Structure 1
């Protein structure tokens, strides 16, 4: 169990919320992990139950059916569901897609979609990555052509989280291709629009329960009122919101690293070799001590990032540096924890196998570690 009550960014209200999240996880998630993994997605009835429990989109204002809380409550939710072993799906809706609608969506779009996102009746995705455009969003080739009162969208997206389940997709596209990044927009596309299709649920190394898809837009016609914010301002919106996305990834990386360490402690205390507990060997203690030191530093840094973001002060470079450090550290800790399990760590029946394989992608999505270094380096 995470020990976060001493964190300076959390209050008694957060503690009560955390208790509610934990009870929900124990009741509704832990018994269904194998089911979700096998299905390759989190069941829609789980989304609705999470909505009924008040655990989706804490930042959505009361006017649109949400509780109107700040990001500190998102942080609590992210910590707990990640520590429990959930892949990134709910965090996408809570931390990324709903904020775009809250901040930039028209009143019509907010009223139409946010209440259902809060209730879990509507699942969302954001489609940025393309076969030829990953971390470099300036390379997006999907085009939205204005035709009277509509946009007509053509292009392909790939590696889209919630791609199979999504009812709505915030689609990053070029509305003015001649202007490059300055001609980028974000347009909401309903999944039942003619011309919109999904590929198969992609077969991934890890994060099995997080549905990930290719999406195809073949002359998909949507009303111009589906535009998020202003035309040709999409790249500005994306850059402005990336600090929260990267903070979210940092939190999940830290929480998963903590769980890996806790699994290693429990295993090495119980496992014996040559007549001694594995934890009684000096090498084991040194490895665990190194992990604990990094976790201690990591939690203090996460607290600092959360506080900075809650006060509107977390810069893009700080968020990039945090994402870089926490995801790389998560990988180190998960790999070391698996090693301490010996052969058992390679067996999927042990939780450490999940946390190890799920860790790998966090150094890639949300911007690769190499891109994070580039962003930090540019600001020097």
Structure 2
């Protein structure tokens, strides 16, 4: 029997299996960044996952990347999330909130403010706005004195997440967003204590994680990383050295987990597994890449040393993914045109497997 369906102790939680629902942007929030009843249904439908990690949730208005995404920086947002977390718990699930500060991957048409980043270097590509895709604007480089307040914003959102009923939080340190921008060697051109050397480039990530641990505890804090990833035009030099240094510092905090994406060669990922003494969630396929994670790839990474396996797109069209994986049922295909279109179609309309009479 594969360990994919064995229970696992994660902090204070007992997960009934090692299948994790990866964070996925679905842009279904209401005005003001409020969670909705449809979001409660969506996550509750998938509560058989060992752990659900929510879509990216902005910790501040200036941290919002896309229109239509939820927040955790107002009392109204906290109140709107409570029925979502309650629905997951009622269905026997566990859910972490992914805290995502977009940094330079944002637009004034979305937030009313110029995006901020480590340096005045725009992201590569078009960003989403309320009126359609537009070229990424040049961000305002944060002053040295401002940087700590943005690190602290993750902690403030984490406090609100716990108040909203989440079991913990995951810091989004991947995919070209703010933490990833500080790690980058081309988005981060700073010459102060937050730029240049590996020690300085990891500093923001460590400060954000440290503040969050202080706010809600290490057992409720994870982080997602995409070593070597090139999302939104970020580049990283010395990938193995950079992430080994980062994991060494994070290990001192006793985080609940590190969540790695398969954005580096396998030998690098295995070396990072060895460098991280704690729980590792592995996302074995490139996000938005041509392949989706399947049972065979999950089993392979468990054998390579991962503790938990995250599945992304497969969970969209298969709310009963755990059961389908367990007994080898076919997976339903996902309609990519409904990823971000809003509404319940392609969100709540995928059925569980229909057994023949």
Give the TM interval when normalised to the shorter protein.
under 0.3
Computing the radius of gyration from Cα coordinates, the structure with the larger value is 1
Normalising by structure 1, report the TM-score. Answer: 0.26
Bigger helix share = 1
